[in-house]
């Protein structure tokens, strides 16, 4: 069971009954903590990308959604897909790191870039095709959720 609690400067996600608490830093410009925490939550969660989006997306303030910054919850969803496809926790975290440099988007043109920044993982595991399938599947989820 998942629950969210709001603090003065942060939101926290509690994963019950484990008692795990994952802070989501809310300060504007805290790109690395927000992305890292989102990715961490995704890796520890057994929830689907749809469920993750519903839980995490409302926690981000409107000012945090400027341009491609809306990618933060998407990074977490992508990490979920990576874990489901057999990648390790560290490899899933690398999805978040790559996406921080080039946030994941849903257009075909930007999809190529997303696959490109994930290439270090693909070359490491020689799973480029798997990476592409994961990115495409995640993009389909994004389109459905953004509709």
pLDDT digits (tens, 9 = 90+) for 5-48: 443 333 444 333 344 343 333 332 333 344 444 444 444 455 55
- The stretches in the chain having pLDDT less than 70 are 1-84, 87-147
Q: What is the pLDDT of residue 116?
A: 43
Residues across the chain: 147
DSSP string, 74-102: HHHHHHHHHHHTT--HHHHHHHHHHHHHS
Domain ranges of the chain: 2-146
Beta bridge partners of 5: 12
pTM of the model: 0.35
How do beta strands 2-6 and 20-25 pair? Answer: unpaired
Q: What is the pLDDT of residue 120?
A: 44
Name which of 73, 70, 112, 113 is nearest 96 in CA terms: 73
> Which SS3 state, helix, strand or coil, does residue 46 take?
coil
Q: What is the pLDDT of residue 124?
A: 43
Q: What is the pLDDT of residue 87?
A: 66
């Amino acid at each position: 069971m998942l629950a969210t609690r709001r603090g003065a400067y942060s939101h926290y996600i509690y994963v019950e009954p484990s008692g795990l608490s994952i802070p989501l830093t809310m300060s504007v410009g805290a790109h690395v903590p927000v992305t890292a925490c989102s990715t961490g939550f995704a890796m520890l969660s057994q929830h689907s990308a749809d469920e993750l989006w519903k839980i995490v997306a409302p926690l981000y303030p409107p000012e945090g959604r400027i341009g491609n910054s809306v990618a933060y919850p998407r990074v977490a969803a992508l990490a979920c897909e990576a874990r489901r496809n057999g990648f390790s926790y560290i490899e899933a975290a690398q999805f978040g790191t790559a996406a921080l440099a080039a946030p994941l988007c849903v257009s075909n043109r930007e999809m190529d870039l997303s696959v490109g920044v994930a290439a270090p993982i693909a070359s490491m595991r020689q799973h480029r095709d798997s990476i592409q399938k994961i990115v495409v599947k995640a993009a389909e989820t994004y389109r459905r959720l953004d509709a």
